Amino acid sequence: MGRRVLITGLGTFWGGRVAKALEADPDVEVIVGVDTQAPKIRLERTEFVRADQSYSILARIVKATQVDTILHTFLVVDSTRMSGRSLHEINVIGTMNLLAAAGGAGSTVRQVVVKSSTLVYGSNYQDPVWFREETPRTRAPRTRVERSLLEVEDYLRDFAEDNPHVTVTLMRFSNVLGTDIVTPISKALQLPGGLTPCILGFDPRLQFLEEDDVVRSIEFTMREQVPGIYNVAGDGLLPWSEVAHVCGRRLIAMPPVLTGAAVRPLEWARMELPPELLDLLRYGRGADNRRLKRAGFRYRYTSAGAVESFAEASRLRATVGDSRPTYKYESDVEAFFRHSPAVVRQPTG
């Protein structure tokens, strides 16, 4: 019998991507996706259920679908996307409800995979160059997104302790770059005018992860059922100046004091630099990725490779325009293809 998987945040970039990858896996029997918004990419056999932000419906879904694996990809790590309140609602309350559902009486869940971020380490001048999974952060978290992710990790730790029969995998992803994803960093590298902000006198070393490796690593931890905490990040660190150079950008320096106020005008250009990114542009961050490698995962891209992949995609986009196909989810159409006896179903994969 194959795996029965529940994916949270199906409408987000990651949820959709992971679902698509799992559809090609014959060992995955059922994929159920939950989100507040409809999926943005075409999926063949994933079932979509609309839920509210805090996932109060989740316990019912888990019971009804008898899933054995939950992939929690719906943690918000980009604080420019929403207000602090909904961020808290989604990250903390959403995870609480999710874990309550997974640990409820008669639950069939045997593995929970959570997609967190290396933001939990912060970025500070007292930091070591490399954070191992157990290296403590050097300063108390100041930003809302960092605090919420740390709270989520605390809940997850309690959950793992209370439910020893469940494989709990916590993955901390580094900054992601790639062909499609849009993050504050990718926006900073695509600002009009060929200019990219940096902080005067600082050239931090950053680490990147290619979006392909994100999906592959989630699949990997699910397939191999590896428990524990894992940093997921490309090999090596690159100075921010080099990143900008690879992308063909010129750097424009922000003052090192009162930086927050100085970058405010950028918001008019729909470019927001959240405080956690300003810290990163000052001190950088490195996450030791060797534990996941020891578990057997092989990265396809290094940090430099991820930047290159992003640069190639943006050059292509600059020439031929945005050719990403737009897709609109229509529940009737999707239901027809999935459930109508008229459809002759071909095995995927």
Partner 1 sequence: MATGDRITQLRPGALVPVPRDAADEPLAAQRLSDVDEWGRSEHARALTRRLYDPMYRYWFRVEWDGMEKIPDVGGALLVSNHAGAIPSDAPAIMHGIETELGRPVYGLAEHLFKAVPIVGTAWARNGGVAAHPENAYRLLREQQQLALVFPEGTKATGKLYKDRYQLRRFGRGGFVEIAMRSGVPVIPIVVMGAEESMPIVARSNSLAKLLNVPYVPITANMLLFGPLGALLYFPSKFRIKVLDPVHFDVPSDQERYSRSRVMDEAESIRVRMQETLYDMLRNRKSIWFG
The site for partner 1 (CB under 8 A) is made up of 2, 24-30, 45, 125-130, 132, 135, 199-203, 205, 236-239, 241-242, 245-246, 256, 283, 286, 298-302, 304-305, 307-308, 345, 347-349
- Cβ 307 to partner 1, closest distance in Å? 8
- Cβ 36 to partner 1, closest distance in Å? 27
- Cβ 348 to partner 1, closest distance in Å? 7
Q: With respect to partner 1, which residue has the nearer C-beta, 270 or 345?
A: 345
Q: With respect to partner 1, which residue has the nearer C-beta, 294 or 345?
A: 345
> Quick check: helix, strand or coil at residue 162?
helix
Half-sphere exposure of 61 (CA within 13 A, CB side): 28
Q: With respect to partner 1, which residue has the nearer C-beta, 239 or 275?
A: 239
Rounded CA separation 95/8 (Å): 10
Q: Quick one: residue 173, left, alpha or beta (phi over 0 = left, psi -120 to 50 = alpha)?
A: beta
Q: With respect to partner 1, which residue has the nearer C-beta, 267 or 336?
A: 336
Q: With respect to partner 1, which residue has the nearer C-beta, 77 or 278?
A: 278
Q: With respect to partner 1, which residue has the nearer C-beta, 58 or 307?
A: 307
Q: With respect to partner 1, which residue has the nearer C-beta, 33 or 286?
A: 286
DSSP conformational letter for 325: P
Beta-bridged to residue 196, according to DSSP, are: 251
Residue type, 67: V
Phi, then psi, of 252 in degrees rounded to 5: -120, 125
- Cβ 266 to partner 1, closest distance in Å? 20
CB-count burial class (<10 Å; 0-12, 13-18, 19+) for 162: exposed
Helices (H) and strands (E) in the chain, counts: 13, 13
Q: With respect to partner 1, which residue has the nearer C-beta, 53 or 135?
A: 135
- Cβ 4 to partner 1, closest distance in Å? 9
Rounded CA separation 86/65 (Å): 27
Rounded CA separation 266/252 (Å): 12
Q: With respect to partner 1, which residue has the nearer C-beta, 15 or 286?
A: 286
- Cβ 90 to partner 1, closest distance in Å? 31
Rounded CA separation 211/175 (Å): 10
CB-count burial class (<10 Å; 0-12, 13-18, 19+) for 257: exposed
Rounded CA separation 196/303 (Å): 19
| Sheet with 69-72: strands ordered across | 47-50, 28-35, 3-8, 69-72, 111-117, 167-173, 228-232
- Cβ 163 to partner 1, closest distance in Å? 26
Q: Give the C-alpha distances (Å, rounded to integers) separating 219 from 5, 21, 313.
A: 11, 8, 24
